Structure 1
């Protein structure tokens, strides 16, 4: 059974390796190998631990195994990460994680979410209600540019009620 819960500092050691496996598996058909290698070799940003400690991250577990995670910067509304372990992809876990972030954002009064979607994830975010704003080259902190799509979603107002979790 899949459960989603707030990420904790104890989860940090497992999050970045999961992200690296997901990038290598999911992005390989959309980016050159040199981009994938540089992208996946980068160390986690300090902001990851900060956002986890602020309660801005969620993990999905199935039978106590980490299946995915998502991170939201509540100060800006940026969806910083949504990654699913390759063996668990295609089962709606990313959708559930993103819904969790939306409920969190609404509870904190965030009215708009935005992100830079990797090319392989654009259709997923469109299905989740995000709108394309522009194609861009995301300046990754490793020094490479990653082709992506800047997307945003206006959240329903508090009087509309939260997005239901499944």
Structure 2
């Protein structure tokens, strides 16, 4: 699969259950090398089964875009103006340029709005990915998850 086969489109309410499943699957696939099992469980909101309601709430305040091939949703990104809030690719499709395409789309949208710098909060697993895309680490910071769980993350930015 090349990025030429990946299509991007705005997420629709009917996509919400699949997006929740991708979020859960992506976090479940992470090893416990940088975060504990308890932290990973909190990160996926203590869910083992998809819950469309959380994604539907996000759709009211965030812009969500999905990556598809044919009718298969492979990943998604959510953002608000200049901040990339979330980026998840199903483990089955990782390493194929999907995350890169979603981040590029986010940056292109920001540029179209006259924004010259974007930010994101990267998990320790994703820090290298963002560095390869031209982001710069600003600082390590705590990130507060449900249940009072706090994990280290990296605040990052990119000049467009």
Category of TM-score, reference length = shorter chain: 0.7 to 0.9
Aligned residues: 150
Aligned to 1:161: none
Task: Detail structure 1 runs of 4+ shifted over 4 Å in the superposition.
Answer: none
Q: Deviations over 1:106-165 (max 9, x none)?
A: 11222221111000000000011110011111122442111111101121xxxxxxxxxx
Secondary structure of 2:29's partner?
Answer: helix
Cα offset, 1:63, TM superposition = 2.6
The answer to whether the 8 Å contact 2:110/2:116 transfers is yes
Aligned to 1:50: 60
Which residue of the other structure, out of 128, 132, 137, is the alignment partner of 1:132? 137
Structure 1 residue 101 corresponds to structure 2 residue 101 = no
With normalisation by structure 2, the TM-score equals 0.85
Aligned to 1:17: 21
Structure 1 residue 65 corresponds to structure 2 residue 61 = no
Cα RMSD after superposing both structures: 1.9
Unaligned runs of 5+ in 1: 156-166
Secondary structure of 1:60's partner?
Answer: strand
Which residue of the other structure, out of 112, 120, 123, is the alignment partner of 1:115? 120
Cα offset, 1:4, TM superposition = 1.2
The answer to whether the 8 Å contact 1:70/1:80 transfers is yes
The answer to whether the 8 Å contact 1:137/1:145 transfers is yes
Unaligned runs of 5+ in 2: none
User: In the superposition, relative to structure 1, how do residues 96 and 152 fare at CA in structure 2: closer, same or farther (>3 Å)?
Assistant: same
Secondary structure of 2:148's partner?
Answer: coil
1-structure distance, mates of 2:104, 2:31? 22
1-structure distance, mates of 2:140, 2:11? 31
1:122-161 equivalence runs, <5 A = 122-155=127-160
Quick check: 94-103 or 15-24, which moved more? 15-24
2-structure distance, mates of 1:109, 1:131? 20
With normalisation by structure 1, the TM-score equals 0.82
